[in-house]
Amino acid sequence: MKLPYEWRIGWRYTRAGRSARRNGFISFISGVSVIGIALGVAALIIVLSVMNGFQKEVRDRMLSVIAHVELFHADGGALPDWHILADQARRHPAVVGVAPFVPAQALIARGEDMRGAVVRGIDPAQEAQVTPLAARMQPVLSRLKPGEWGVVMGLELARSLGVREGDPVTLVAPGGQVTPAGVVPRLKQMQVVGLFEAGHYEYDSGTVMMHIDDAAKLFRTGGPVAVQLKLRDAQQARGVANDLAEVLGSDVIVRDWTRTNATWFDAVQIEKRMMFIILTLIVAVAAFNLVSTLVMTVTDKRADIAILRTLGASPGSIMGIFMVQGALSGVMGTLAGLGLGLLVAFNIDVIVPFIEHLLGVRFLPGSIYLITSMPSDPQSGDIIPIAVVSLLLSLAATLYPSWRASRVQPAEALRYE
């Protein structure tokens, strides 16, 4: 099938503008526009893929340590009937694991060094049902015996205190003991029986696990304070939490991981939207460089336009010719940007370490960014809108020059030819 002549002439002008020596400057401006669009599209894809990967990596590592849903008593006290509560929760089809625990905060001291930590009193036999980290390190957690006062702590916390497996540490519990001499802090010497590394700096540097019976005695809770649940799909946590809240009544507080960490995830989403807007402006600037290219092309092709009009071409056809020329530049830039962006996004785990080694720098210190490697997760939900926006901006940039070309009068254009 033969293409309309508007397409054929538009494609011919695109090729001629790049090869003819007299149009070298126009070719240069056009090439810069295409490169600008390509770089803008590639930057959008790379940045959004990295942000998706960062969010996914942090979420997965976070959920390797904490449960999907937690159940607490409304008054904040112990749950003496936690077995009944666990049985009620198990009836929900989305719940696949249940375990009790005692959450608390304390100070961990080793000599003159002292660090704050989140203490999790767990049942080693049941914890593996709710957290992947516990399932992986079951042999280590099995060393937590009731009455032996052992702890398993994060690797970064151990490093900051200078302790190794087998070393003693002192745990300082909040709420001192009242004596005739005044309030005395409750101290307990414990032994480090194991270390863990979740890959999430916040937990590796501030989490301590101990047996649930020892935690209940030390913090005087009288038993488990909460029940943690594992779901078939972590993304359904909010809906399942709402269902359980209706079933369990007002005496039980149901808290899912999306609400516990809502601030962090909301911040990432806002940053992602802002980066999309900012980088789209870069694509817009490159796309509207096509305006200057097409205006110069129209000026250069005035005689051609006049001849086409004389031969019977309508103003709409003339407009179509130059819209095709500009749109082709937009398509080439968008496709080149998609190729470059996806190439980098899918190989960023190789590219970034190479650059870090070459420059001798670390782009992601774990103490700041929670993870230490650059993740990437290209998603079609981001890539398709990027391509569509780029093409629409390129098409919009062709409207004014094309309209101007359609307004060229044959007699005026041919007067000095």
H helical segments located in 145-229: 155-161, 201-204, 212-218
Q: Which two tokens stand for residue 59?
A: 């979420």
Closest by CA to 70, choosing from 320, 260, 305, is: 260
Q: Are 212 and 122 in contact (CB under 8 A)?
A: yes
Tell me the three state secondary structure of residue 403. Answer: helix
Question: What torsion, rounded to 10 degrees, do the Cα atoms 261, 266, 267, 272 define?
Answer: 130
| Global pTM value | 0.71
- Residue 16 parent element (H or E): helix 5-19
DSSP-derived letter for residue 250 is: T
What's residue 23's pLDDT?
A: 53
CB 128 within 8 A of CB 65: no
Q: Which amino acid is at 95?
A: V
**C-alpha triplet 351, 357, 361: angle, nearest 5°:** 105
Report how far residue 292's alpha carbon sits from residue 307's, in angstroms, rounded to the nearest whole number.
23
CB 231 within 8 A of CB 240: yes
**What is the DSSP secondary structure assignment for residue 235, as one 8-state letter?**
G
The three-class DSSP label of residue 382 is helix
Q: Residue 17 CA to chain centroid, in angstroms?
A: 42
What is the four-CA torsion angle of 212, 217, 221, 222, rounded to 10 degrees? Answer: 90
Taken in order 31, 34, 38, 39, is the CA torsion positive or negative? Answer: positive
Residues 188, 215: Cα–Cα separation, whole Å:
11
SS3 label, residue 43: helix
Q: How far apart are CA 56 and CA 66, in angstroms?
A: 15
**DSSP-based helix, strand, coil % in the chain, nearest 5:** 60, 20, 25
Element (H, E) at 171: strand 168-179
Q: How confident is the prediction along the chain (417 residues), in pLDDT tens digits per residue?
A: 444 645 555 556 555 544 444 455 556 667 777 888 888 899 889 988 888 888 888 788 888 888 888 888 877 777 777 888 888 888 888 888 899 988 888 889 888 888 889 899 999 888 888 988 888 888 888 899 988 899 999 988 999 898 999 899 999 887 766 555 555 667 889 999 999 888 778 888 889 999 999 998 888 888 888 889 999 888 888 888 888 888 887 788 888 888 877 777 777 778 888 888 888 888 888 777 777 777 777 666 666 666 666 666 676 777 777 777 777 888 888 899 999 999 998 988 888 878 877 887 777 665 555 566 778 888 888 889 888 888 888 888 877 777 777 766 665 655 555
From CA 279, how far away is CA 285, in angstroms rounded? 10
In this structure, the dihedral spanned by the alpha carbons of residues 289, 291, 293 and 294, taken in order and rounded to 10 degrees, is 160
